[in-house]
Structure 1
Amino acid sequence: MNNTGMRSSYRNRIALNFTLGTGLLIALIFLLIYYIVSATVFNRLEKDLGYELEKHFYEVGVQRGQPYFADKAEWLEREHSELEINPVFVALTNLSGKVIDKSPNLKNDSLKLHFSPADHAVFKTTLHGLAIEQVQQVIRENGRPVGYIVVAMPIDESERVLLNLKVVLLIAFPAVLAILFIFTRYLAGRSIQPVLTVIETASKMSNSNMGSRIPVPFVQDELYLLVTTLNELMTRVEHAIDREKRFTSDASHELRTPLAVIKGTLEVLIRKPRSADEYVEKISFCIGEMDRINHLVDQLLLLARFESQQKAMTMGIVDLSELTANILVRHQQQIVEKNLSVDLDTVGIDTVYSDPYMADIMLDNIISNAVKYSSGPARIAISIATSEQITYYTVADKGIGIDSNDISRIRDAFYRSAPLSHPEVKGSGLGLSIVSRMCEMLGVGFTIQSELGKGTQVTLSFPILSQS
């Protein structure tokens, strides 16, 4: 099915569902109208019959066990003499149904008696092919039934009115449904047009065209929220794709360099026989490059794992002083070789509520950078201070520093500030990227202050109330 068919089907489904729901309501309304009209017509007719019955009932007398009309002048009334103008038919019968007397407008016809155990009965029948409604009442003498008085009125006009009403409603119902379906289908098409615009714009987006955005409607309704949410999602996807491209490019570059060095060293090594010392030297160099590759791969895997947030955080109490001491032990050989001194100053609370594994990685990266980019004799100052429910962990060195133009990019993966100015310092540029990502996940503040040639200060801000 093509897109047009799908759109048409969706529009038709909206119109059909709305029409069916509204059609059910209209059907109930039409039935209610018919019932009200029918009940009104026949209730009025029954009242008229009751009035005529009561009027004639009191004119009936009983003589020798037979009922009779005491006032014959009533038969001369026009309504009993003519059929054309709202006639009322009256008959007087004995218990067996034999007519004793009847109104002149009955002529040769007679009303059918309904033998019912009830004293009063109302029913419909026919008279000379005409529909009539008939009411009969038992006549009693001293509590004993002696006959019946029957009063009838034609209802063919009433039934004709109800029939016409039924026909009109039956014809109007499908016509209304058809009009409603067409109108609803048109409105549904107009209503889903912005959605089609969203689909069309989204279908044009690709990896090479992620800058397109869906036009935001002027009316701030549900569609406005949908478009805004989709645009924000596309922005995040665009940034993720850009990061992936940059990460892939930088990672391939960083891995290609040591591999090329190892390959070149080994090619030189096999060109001619070498002494044992030369073999040891070149192989040791290659092992160092392999260690560099292993470290780079470990950092890449670590960064990828936290980028996808696959590692669940395990929060607990972290002693920053103890953690710092353990990290300094790991870097003790390099600190001694570079003739560096490290001062640890603690003021206030030195424990925070954080992920111990991630906290160790963050502090290790910051301290290792301070050691890596410092040259002795020099001092590295580490301080832990608490102020306004925040514990500040600061590492300050007197190393080579960072150019002010590079501060904004120093947290990007694989970015290193002026690497050609200090080729002796090896690194991949992933350390601060990992620290920055972990700080985002843990809600820890991360600031860098640096001046080229004077040193760098890195501060982590741990909220000490995170445990509550």
Structure 2
Amino acid sequence: MSILKPKSIYKQFHQKLVIATSLLIIILSFIFYGYTKSTIFDEIQDSLYADAQLILEVSKTSNVNTNNFNLITSNGINVDIVELLNVPQSGYTYFKVGNKHFIQILYPFDVTKRKYIKIVKNIDSSIEMLNKIFNNLLLISLGGLIMVVLYAFTVSKTLLRPIIQITNKLSNMDENFLSQIKKDNLPIEFHPLANSINSLMTRIETNIKFKKELFIGVAHELKTPLAVMKLKNEVALMKKREAEKYQETMRLTVEQINDMNKMISSILDIGRAEGAQFEKPEEIDLVKYLQRKTNDYRMLSAKKKIVITFFSNVNHHEIYVQPTLLNQIIQNFVQNAIKFTPDEKSIAIRLEKEANTTTITVTDDGPGIDESIDLFAPFKRMGEESGAGLGLFLAKNAADSLEATVSLKNRTDDKNGCVATLILPNTTIPKKKESKKETSQK
């Protein structure tokens, strides 16, 4: 089994450019040579026919016959009158005698007697001129071919230079050195590629930053309860104590283990969320989806007698999205709102469809947040409530995978609380299906 060798785009480009341009030069050269030759021969033919007509007109004024029609030679032209038994189909003939070239025409002189004026002209000078033209064209074509080869190599290198520049830039990058590609020296055609790579670099840099913070936070968060359990157990084992003391130590150990289990579950959720990035998008009615989810969330808020309401500026809104990632974001927003909203208060979920985006907000009546803290970083907590501090981190990762944005701000009205916002791009809506539905509605 033969293995195909990878082809170089550089070689392919200049080879195709050289071949295509060479064929163009050759074709144009032959067309020009053929046109020149045809033009010269046509002029010679027209000139001979004009001479024949002149001879015929002159002969009408004098008595001319075969005996007294003398052979005339002038400037390589021989004129004679001949009698032909078989009339040729074409009165124009090109022939060669030795190294000499001739053109002959036959022009009717006396058709009843089958007599024709025969003019033969030596065209060696014209052939020599055509040969010079051909040789000059050959030299010009050869020079043009050399220029094309040089031009092809130059253009190939010019077109390849930005790719080499970007490739070298990427090859020198690692997780500790991620820099943006500068577009100043790149042709404008490569700007979309540079923008895509820069956007990818930003996401990679953010992901690496969060992962490092996550690993450090996990080590810190797991090390603290382990240290507490170890110290408490060592103290309990230093001497014999009452059973209640040992029970207290065991209860503390169980509480710490439960907290660690919650944290480990959150870390597992991160792995599941990353796997959900490859989930196949599904078409869902976002309004009905949020209505159904709101009913589920009311069961969670019933214990604190919190009223959850849902509002939408449209009755239906179909969208393609990964449901697992979307649920990860909405559920985290609502769970945080329930956690920080006092009893018998309210939470509002709103959907607003705009021209290019769809905005989902979760507004609570809680104490608000400190906006100077990046709550989407791992292990960042709000207030005194318990938790691993990974929920918003998971929501941010899910939003990045959906090419959406999330934010957390305090309310701007006269009430306390915060607003969690998810902005989805409407580009995720299939245009073909959307157009079909709009047509059916019309």
The percentage of counterpart residues that share the same residue type is: 18
Listed one character per residue, the Cα deviations across residues 117-148 of structure 1 (whole Å, up to 9, x for unaligned) are 5354322223565211112357766x564x65
Structure 1: gaps spanning 5 or more residues: 1-5, 62-66, 97-115, 333-340, 372-377
Distance 1:213 1:261, change over 3 A: same
Select which of 406, 412, 415 maps to 2:380: 415
- Deviation, 1:170, is 1.7
Is the 1:131–1:156 contact (alpha carbons within 8 Å) kept by the matching residues of 2?
yes
- Of residues 261, 264, 281, the one that matches 1:297 is 264
Assess if the C-alpha contact under 8 Å between 2:73 and 2:79 holds in 1.
Answer: no
The corresponding residue for 2:168 is 200
- Conserved? CA contact 1:393–1:459, under 8 Å: yes
Distance change in 2, residues 1:126/1:120 (3 Å): same
Q: Is 1:214 matched up with 2:181?
A: yes
- Which residue number in structure 1 is paired with residue 307 of structure 2? 344
CA offset at residue 283 of structure 1? Answer: 5.2
Quick check: 1:136 aligned with 2:106? yes
Q: Which residue in 1 is equivalent to 2:290?
A: 318
Residue 430 in 1 paired to residue 390 in 2?
A: yes
Q: Shift in Å at residue 414 of structure 1?
A: 0.8
Residue 173 of structure 1: aligned partner: 141
Cα distance 1:51–1:71, how it changes in 2: closer, same or farther (>3 A)? farther
Superposition pairs for residues 137-286 of structure 1, below 5 Å?
143=112, 145=114, 149-210=117-178, 212-217=179-184, 221-261=188-228, 285-286=252-253
Q: 1:362 to 1:439 in 2, by over 3 A?
A: farther
Deviation at residue 393 of structure 1 after TM alignment: 4.4
1:449 counterpart = 2:410: yes
Deviation of the 1:152 alpha carbon: 0.7
Aligned partners of 1:380 and 1:395 also within 8 Å = no
- 1:22 aligned partner: 21
> Paired residue for 1:122, among 85, 92, 96?
92
Alignment match, 2:76:
87
Q: Distance in 2 between matches of 1:342 and 1:258?
A: 33
CA distance in 1, matches of 2:305, 2:89: 119
The equivalent of 2:39 in structure 1 is 40
User: Which residue, out of 360, 364, 370, partners 1:395?
Assistant: 364
Deviation at 1:387, TM superposition (A): 11
Q: Between Structure 1 and Structure 2, how many residues are aligned? A: 396
Q: 1:384 to 1:234 in 2, by over 3 A?
A: closer
The equivalent residue for 1:113 is none
Deviation per residue, 1:186-209 (Å, 9 max, x gap): 354345444433333332221111
For the aligned residue pairs, the C-alpha RMSD in angstroms reads 4.6
Structure 2, gaps ≥5 residues long = 1-5, 354-358, 435-442
Task: Tell me by how many angstroms 1:162 deviates.
Answer: 1.0
> Any idea what SS the aligned residue of 2:379 has?
coil
In 1, distance between residues paired with 2:273 and 2:345?
A: 29
- Indicate if the aligned counterparts of 1:217 and 1:223 stay in contact, CA closer than 8 A: no
**Aligned-residue offset at 1:26:** 1.9
**1 CA distance for matches of 2:14 and 2:137?**
22
Q: Select the residue among 399, 411, 419 that pairs with 1:459.
A: 419
Partner AA of 2:290 in structure 1: V
Matched with 2:66 is: 69
- Counterparts of 1:318 and 1:166, CA distance in 2: 81
Helix, strand or coil at the partner of 1:408: coil
Distance 1:127 1:291 in 2: 114
Instruction: Quote how far apart the aligned CAs of 1:382 are.
Output: 1.8
The aligned amino acid for 1:47 is D
Deviation at 1:160, TM superposition (A): 1.1
Q: Measured at CA, do residues 272 and 16 of structure 1 come closer, stay the same or move farther in structure 2, by a change above 3 Å?
A: same
SS at match of 2:42: helix
Deviations 1:202-254 (A, max 9, x none): 322211111x3333226872134433433333222222221222222222333
Rounded to whole Å, the distance in 2 between the matches of 1:222 and 1:248 is: 40
Larger CA Rg, structure 1 vs 2: 1
